[in-house]
Structure 1
Amino acid sequence: MSVLRTAALRSKRTLIAAGLALAVAAGTGGWAAGSAQTAVTGPAPGAAAWRADRALGRPLPDPVTASPAAVARFFASLTGPQRHALAARHPLTVGNLDGAPVALRFEANSAALKAERARQLARATDPDGTLQDHRQARKAAARCAELLAPGRHVLAFDPRGRGQVAEVHGELTSAERVAVVVPGSDIDLGSFDRTRDPYGTPTGMATSLRRQMAIEAPGTRTAVIAWAGYTTPVGLGPDAATGRLAEAGAPRLARFLTGLAATGTPAPAVLCHSYGSVVCGLAAPEVGRGEIADLIVFASPGMRRDSVAELGTSARVWAARDASDWIGDVPNVEFLGLGHGEDPTDPAFGARRVPTGRAEGHTGYLAPGTGSLRNFAAIALGRYDAVR
């Protein structure tokens, strides 16, 4: 077959696939099923006050330009009282500053959540607000109160937009094995740990994974981080079909993972669900070699990369998709900005395939009793010969 004929056939398949992608979107509710989101980017509120702070007699590391390694060195040079004073003065900055000590971030985010809860409670009784404003404020205050419950460890919190949060399950500073869960669409501060469809939420996935890791290796110290640190798509609108929000979220994920390495955390297994796998695909080349042990994508619409080689990562790359998952009906194409490219479970992509026995649907991969949960736990534990 000639080169020109091959190119013509590939172009024809792309056009057909693009048409199918639009048909699938229309058949599942179309663009009206989702709303366009404004991506939250840049440092958390309070960065200007942080930059202007000269209480230590020297500039503080810029939250945008300072590397996590530089941030870690800066905090290592401080006394305990100096660190706590910075966290008290700038809770949102310290709580989201990748490279800062883990325990200090917990402390800062606790203070930030208390301040946000107080702000929302004030809004809930503001006479200038509408009934809807009051209702939304009470709901936001309740979410902050839930995250402040004893035993919860919040590693990142940003109240802007729909709200972003990262929570640690386990003891991160002493963990031998670590995993990070990156969710897909419809996740924010309000749905981070909802009771409906729990294994489709970061909290549900993280708790189930850590529980399974304890079953597989009872003597191993583990921690799982539920990371909802980017603006996710809502519904099946254009945001879910394009890479705009993933492009905004990928630098945040890359910096977060680099920050874990800077604080001495073992290289984690990163589990990327659905649209989260698009974020991971764009973030992977920006993460330093050896800072990720394994990259697991599941229920993926594509990673905006044509192959494992294009991910530019030293991590082992794994892919899983159950036959019952509707994502398999979405054509793997990237055309005029729509779609996310090659199927990571296609052998040609080059990822290791993970069996998913007994998983059901798009959000059932980490449900107890599934083969995918057992296999994901084995990968996170580094027990690769147990993947079956």
Structure 2
Amino acid sequence: MTVPRNAVRRSKRTLTAAVLALAVAAGTGGWAAGTAQTAVTGPAPGAAAWRADHSLGVALPDPASASPAEVARFFAGLTGAQQQALAARHPLTVGNLDGAPVALRYEANSRALRAERDRALARATDPAGTLQDHQQARRAAARYAALLAPGRRILAFDPRGRGQVAEVHGDLAAARRTAVIVPGSDIDLATFDRATDPYGTPTGMAASLRRRMAAEAPGVPTAVIAWVGYTTPVGLGPDAATGRLAEAGAPRLARFLAGLAATGTPAPAVLCHSYGSVVCGLAAPHTGRGDLTDLIVFGSPGMRRDTAADLRTPARVWAARDTSDWIGDVPNVEVLGLGHGADPTDPAFGARRVPAQRAKGHTGYLAPGTDSLRAIAAIVLGHPETVR
């Protein structure tokens, strides 16, 4: 009996989906290993008060609909005193408003962090709270206090959900070479930096990359931005295996990059780790020519694109994976919403290869002493021809 060709195709798709589901379940102890997250979208809290503010006699740019270029033009038409007044009245809006002056965003976010810290300290002693409430509030207050430490430059801060934050390492105003790091699962305000597995955190990655660039080109001003501007998956459950959170995060990343361009920041290289590469893959077609120079993915489960050309970006596309990274065991398929598609390190994908033989595991790509760190630093510094 001859089996119809379409029946064979359906059987292959079903088998592939089953293999994918079993691989994820086996690797994580089941779907319960990850909890479903609610994606944070839209403007930061306070947008309604911002829209209702007519103190300048003109409508303020809508945080939900004004482009970063429009925001930049609006602030360029204000006096310093007017800018300061807006930051004082609307710190969360100004601090997260892509296209607003960078230094003003730093100041606004300092105000917002102090306000959140004070609220957390009040909750920590509220007689109506439980012991657990008090403990959680004290941890939150300590986290906010850490971000307020002298020398830290917080470019974005949103307390909603698990918290989102972006921090600049270096002087963004003076930088000639820049990079943006987009992390993967389990990263939020609480895990933005940590003592354990430091090079698996955005802060550790950014600090390591910047040190390497300083060693390679000590006379070149550089800045690296650790960006946690989307809701990341927790664990390796359904959120990590689907594109739902990446679809919510991609427009936020595209807007952030447009905001950097609107304020005159040199186009960065964008580094995308693990699930962050899914976000980058979906954001890439929505970025402008001056928004980024290079797109570098490492430890990637796929980008939800079949080839580098499908990203529709003028940026150079790079990919790295070391042989000890468990992500290599994840099937590179996308079936029925599960999986993220082609392996970016496969030659057929068309990305340039970043060496990663000295990297260790899933989070070691930017650890000191690795060939991947050296190569990525060269790319960010504008020397892609040296990467072999």
Alignment of 1:238-317 (within 5 A): 238-317=238-317
Letter aligned with residue 155 of structure 1: L
For the 8 Å contact 2:92–2:109, the answer to whether it is kept is: yes
Q: Distance in 2 between matches of 1:219 and 1:38?
A: 44
| Equivalent residue, structure 2, for 1:380 | 380
The alignment status of 1:361 with 2:326, answered yes or no, reads no
**Residue 173 of structure 2: SS of its match in structure 1?**
helix
**Residue 192 of structure 2: SS of its match in structure 1?**
coil
Shift of 1:74: 0.3
The alignment status of 1:178 with 2:169, answered yes or no, reads no
Q: Distance in 2 between matches of 1:126 and 1:226?
A: 34
Q: Distance in 2 between matches of 1:373 and 1:347?
A: 21
Shift of 1:243: 0.5
Letter aligned with residue 74 of structure 2: F
Shift of the 31–135 alpha-carbon distance from structure 1 to 2, 3 Å rule, reads same
Alignment of 1:6-21 (within 5 A): 12-21=11-20
| Equivalent residue, structure 2, for 1:212 | 212
> Which range moved further: 6-15 or 174-183?
6-15
| Equivalent residue, structure 1, for 2:339 | 339
For the 8 Å contact 1:98–1:255, the answer to whether it is kept is: yes
For the 8 Å contact 2:323–2:357, the answer to whether it is kept is: no
Letter aligned with residue 373 of structure 1: L
For the 8 Å contact 2:178–2:223, the answer to whether it is kept is: yes
Give unmatched runs, 5+ long, in structure 1.
none
Q: Distance in 2 between matches of 1:13 and 1:383?
A: 44
Q: Distance in 2 between matches of 1:6 and 1:353?
A: 37
| Equivalent residue, structure 2, for 1:149 | 149
Q: Distance in 2 between matches of 1:41 and 1:98?
A: 14
| Equivalent residue, structure 2, for 1:203 | 203
Q: Distance in 1 between matches of 2:178 and 2:69?
A: 19
% identical equivalent positions: 77
TM score, norm. by length of structure 2? 0.97
Structure 1 outlier segments of 4+, above 3 Å: 4-16
**Residue 376 of structure 2: SS of its match in structure 1?**
helix
**Residue 373 of structure 1: SS of its match in structure 2?**
helix
| Equivalent residue, structure 1, for 2:222 | 222
Letter aligned with residue 68 of structure 1: P
Letter aligned with residue 246 of structure 1: A
Q: Distance in 2 between matches of 1:42 and 1:360?
A: 37
Shift of the 357–344 alpha-carbon distance from structure 1 to 2, 3 Å rule, reads same
Residue deviations 1:281-339 (CA, integer Å, cap 9, x gap):
01111111231100000100011111111111110000011110000000011111111
For the 8 Å contact 1:178–1:269, the answer to whether it is kept is: yes
Q: Distance in 2 between matches of 1:319 and 1:186?
A: 22
| Equivalent residue, structure 2, for 1:232 | 232
Q: Distance in 1 between matches of 2:163 and 2:43?
A: 13
Q: Distance in 1 between matches of 2:4 and 2:227?
A: 46
Letter aligned with residue 276 of structure 1: G
Residue deviations 1:88-109 (CA, integer Å, cap 9, x gap):
0000000000000000000000
Residue deviations 1:111-169 (CA, integer Å, cap 9, x gap):
00000000111111112212111111110110000000000000000000000000000
Shift of 1:26: 1.7
| Equivalent residue, structure 1, for 2:97 | 97
Letter aligned with residue 248 of structure 1: A
Q: Distance in 1 between matches of 2:4 and 2:235?
A: 39
For the 8 Å contact 2:358–2:370, the answer to whether it is kept is: yes
| Equivalent residue, structure 2, for 1:139 | 139
For the 8 Å contact 2:188–2:228, the answer to whether it is kept is: yes
| Equivalent residue, structure 2, for 1:115 | 115
For the 8 Å contact 1:95–1:105, the answer to whether it is kept is: yes
Q: Distance in 2 between matches of 1:353 and 1:365?
A: 13
> Which range moved further: 9-18 or 322-331?
9-18
Shift of 1:15: 3.3
**Residue 296 of structure 1: SS of its match in structure 2?**
strand
Q: Distance in 2 between matches of 1:214 and 1:103?
A: 23
Question: Over aligned residue pairs, what C-alpha RMSD do you find?
Answer: 1.4
Shift of the 355–7 alpha-carbon distance from structure 1 to 2, 3 Å rule, reads farther
Letter aligned with residue 113 of structure 1: L
Residue deviations 1:28-76 (CA, integer Å, cap 9, x gap):
2221111000110000000000000001000000001100000000000
> Which range moved further: 49-58 or 8-17?
8-17
For the 8 Å contact 1:18–1:331, the answer to whether it is kept is: no
For the 8 Å contact 1:17–1:332, the answer to whether it is kept is: no
For the 8 Å contact 1:116–1:141, the answer to whether it is kept is: yes
